[in-house]
Chains A and B, each alone.
Chain A
């Protein structure tokens, strides 16, 4: 934590846990009889519960979106740039809720939690989750918090996909969906990258068929490789050139395979940090949820028909250097919404930062995001 908490931070926060006993029927055909959802909230819910904003996290995200857990925290939550007093998702005006998705490894039920039937960690036996399943589980959290309708459901990347699914599956339960750096479904190239990541985990000798917990080990090398390949796709060519260029760590060639270029050092560091903090089974499951996401599939493969289910207003935003989920993918969403006659606004942010831009303090992005959310907040006030 910094010496003093910045004025525009939500400050010290504490995760909470919702235990749900109502069984959750999953798309894969299995049923999760009971589960825990860990979540954080920031700001205050107003009297008629109309100012609630749901934050959906991305592949490697979790419930800790803003603020600090304690004095030892080196860094705030993952979306500190966008959530807080006076920020685009203004906690002076909104009550912000961010859960950890089922199948995650940060407190919600997932492969690392105990399977009540065996008394052992679920591991690879934890059911495969889909975006649709996550959204359904999040409705239970909304019910528990007394939120009949979100002012907005907001997410970047995989989080944006959840926002879309909310709008399609529960049209009456949100007034706005904010889909940032998203896509209506993954391309073959996207799936290919995910498959490389999965194979690196699955073929790690320490993976033990996903039961590495019983062997007191984990597929460290597999996770490192998975994150390294993922990370390359989150940055743009330009961003990497600007950040590392061809800089050498020691200023000269060593004619070997140790780290020489700065970019190698960076990727290895990212991979290693990630491997210590993330569960391999969760990574496998989350990448599959990404691959499976295709809301049009239920509607004769017509995204327009899928979008006809929606009732909320949409804000779609993309970043011009994002090649993981390029602006064209966001435009597919926008076009389907226009064709379905739904309210949608779209902005394409000019930045070299690539897919990761949605997490970063980019002035143009912050301004547009803030302008839109300001209107959402005004509607809440007018509504009361």
Chain B
């Protein structure tokens, strides 16, 4: 996504002065933005060396840590928000990391590509091949996205595991929310953004 509109959406949800842990923080753009605009403090977790360097250059706190090894080094309720943008589908156990996020943070903010999006359904349905799109730009053999889910899958998981959805925004490929994405998010939404708690 250019401009990372999900980042803009997320920063609107975070109050001034909050503490944040950003899982898979990339180049630190969100944390830098939250720091500059909202005096937010916190840390990013990242494993890519180029991203670590980019965070260092921005003066963003970043800790090299593999999300698949859990968040055991962080105490319960250490952060106001634990954020994970576009990484849920890439971890070994999305359910476990979600539990960890809600232990370490009071609330969790999660964004993921909706596999129920109509273009993805059409791609698979008509072409009969694993979908490749701007939100999911990989081939089946080299994709880091090993646990793709739909909006309905995610919400079902939340319901079954006593995770309360506080807020949801589902956007289309122009990163807008409109009547269609509100009416049928699992069909018209390309990116889902959730704020959840326990």
Contacts and interface: CB of A to CB of B under 8 A. Distances in A.
A368 B61 contact: no
Given A367-B49, A375-B57, A335 B73 contact: yes
A343 interface: yes
A364 interface: yes
A368 B73 contact: no
A323 interface: no
B75 A339 contact: yes
Interface of B: 19, 41, 43, 49, 52-65, 73-75, 78
Contacts of A371: 52-54, 56-57
A352 interface: no
24 contacts: A313-B59, A315-B56, A335-B73, A335-B74, A338-B63, A338-B73, A338-B74, A339-B75, A341-B19, A343-B61, A344-B63, A345-B55, A345-B61, A345-B63, A346-B63, A348-B64, A364-B49, A367-B49, A368-B53, A371-B53, A372-B56, A374-B57, A375-B58, A375-B59
A379 B58 CA distance: 11
Contacts of B41: 341
A364 B51 CA distance: 12
Main secondary structure of the interface of A (DSSP, over half): helix
Nearest to B44: A345
A334 interface: yes
A295 B157 CA distance: 46
A355 to B, nearest CB: 18
Contacts of A372: 56
Given A335-B73, A346-B64, A375-B59, A368 B52 contact: yes
A345 B57 contact: no
Contact of A331 (B49, B53, B73, B75): B73
Given A367-B49, A368-B56, A344 B61 contact: yes
Given A334-B63, A375-B57, A375-B59, A347 B52 contact: yes
Given A344-B43, A346-B64, A374-B56, 11 more contacts: A335-B73, A338-B43, A338-B78, A345-B55, A346-B62, A347-B49, A368-B49, A368-B53, A371-B57, A374-B57, A375-B58
Nearest to B28: A345
Interface string A315-353: 100000000000000010011001101011111100000
Nearest to B74: A338
Contacts of B56: 315, 345, 368, 371-372, 374-375
A241 B160 CA distance: 52
Contact of A347 (B43, B54, B64): B64
A315 B86 CA distance: 27
Q: Which 6 A-B pairs have the closest CB atoms?
A: A371-B56, A371-B53, A372-B56, A346-B63, A335-B73, A347-B64
Contacts of B65: 346
Contacts of A375: 56-59
A348 B58 CA distance: 19
Question: Of A345, A346, A368, which is in contact with the most chain B CB atoms at under 10 Å from its CB?
Answer: A345
A379 B57 CA distance: 11
A341 B41 CA distance: 9
A130 to B, nearest CB: 29
